[in-house]
Amino acid sequence: MSNKEEVLRKPDWLKIKLNTNENYTDLKKMMREQNLHTVCEEARCPNIHECWAVRRTATFMILGDVCTRACRFCAVKTGLPNELDLKEPERVADSVVTMNLKHVVVTAVARDDLKDGGAAVFAETVRAIRRKNPFTSIEVLPSDMGGVSENLQMLMDAKPDILNHNIETVKRLTPRIRARATYERSLEFLRRAKEMQPSVPTKSSIMIGLGETKEEIIEAMDDLRANHVEILTIGQYLQPSKKHLKVVKYYHPDEFSELKKIALEKGFSHCEAGPLVRSSYHADEQVNEAAKHKQLLGEKQAKEA
């Protein structure tokens, strides 16, 4: 075995504790009975056992389980999607009731085959959850929906509690890593969302370990802050299969702690950073932190007025 292969052997801090208790099995059974998809399963999230078995939370993936894009980091299957399931929003909302969730994350595959990028179903899912679960906070994690402003407006008119859209990586690596998406379009998407609904916190995520430099990570932070993004998550890229991009570097937990410190110093209201952190990791805590930050900011502005 070469020295390079030795260096890239998965370190101890990336070992995952499996927990298949009753919460986990009940949730898995419910997802199958309701014909629902979760990004937890489809993207092979390393935190699925913690979230399902311990925290009893899940990230619903709507618009089917087949993505029209083939990003080189993502395990979600790619191909020609099925027809839209217009009853899906109600099933998601009913499942949120069953799970008694205080916070729910709704994401989706990219649907470039649809004129609205899936915005109508996304918006209806938000409204359905709100009708049946008025005290549940709702976070949405859409694709760039083709960069069409009207599509984003349709979603923001439903007034989610958090708008999350991931830039995924640094500017230089975007063309190699993301399919049909651009760094600039994602930043514009986030900026427009904030302009459309100024009271809705915006959030984004970066995965590291693909060959980026520390300076590039900091540049991405600056670009997100320049476009008024308030919440940031930073996690370690893990290669889901041999067909996907290889890991260039495994970051030590101390390096993640340093990046979190830098992010908070740059003005993010909340930052989750760690080897197993993913975009929806501890999302229930993030919405509370965003609310506290918003309240403190309002009190500060009132004193200065």
Residues contributing to the annotated binding site for [4Fe-4S] cluster: 40, 45, 51, 67, 71, 74, 280
CA distance readout (Å), 236 to 253, 267, 275, 278? 10, 22, 5, 8
Decide: residue 220, CB within 10 A, 0-12 exposed, 13-18 middle, 19+ buried: buried
Query: Any idea how long the chain is?
Result: 305
- Tell me the C-alpha distance between 222 and 77, whole Å: 32
Rounded (10°) CA dihedral 113, 116, 118, 119: 170
Q: Which of 195, 117, 197 is nearest to 160 (CA)?
A: 197
Q: How far is 107 from 91, CA to CA, in rounded Å?
A: 15
If DSSP codes are grouped into helix, strand and coil, which group holds residue 143? coil
Instruction: Retrieve residue 86's tokens.
Output: 């217009």
Dmax (CA) for the chain in angstroms is 65
Q: Specify binding-site residues.
A: 40, 45, 51, 67, 71, 74, 280
Strands 137-141 and 270-274: unpaired
Whether 145 contacts 116, CB under 8 Å: yes
* Distance (Å, whole) CA 174 – CA 158: 30
